[in-house]
Amino acid sequence: MQHATFEISGMSCGHCVKAVDKALQQAEGVTVEQVAIGSATVAYDPQQTSAEAIAAVIDDAGYPVTATR
């Protein structure tokens, strides 16, 4: 498993945290480690997904990813 942390804009409350968490939980190959306002940290299987694909999942949930590390 690899790890990635995403900095996310547009998150302002617990609802946003839940929305991002839910989107990540549904993404294949992703284990959510922590979601907070403005960031998310996950572990992922590089055979099933990539940091870019996970960032796209967060974007699609309505919260633009501003940085990945």
Q: Which of residues 9-28 bind Cu ion (CB under 5 A)?
A: 12-13, 15-16
CA 7/CA 38 separation, integer angstroms? 6
- Closest contact distance (angstroms) between CB of 66 and Cu ion is 17
- Closest contact distance (angstroms) between CB of 18 and Cu ion is 8
Cα 54 to Cα 1, 67, distances in angstroms = 14, 12
Q: Answer yes or no whether residue 58 interacts with Cu ion by CB under 5 A.
A: no
SS3 assignment, position 32: strand
Binding site for Cu ion (CB under 5 A): 12-13, 15-16
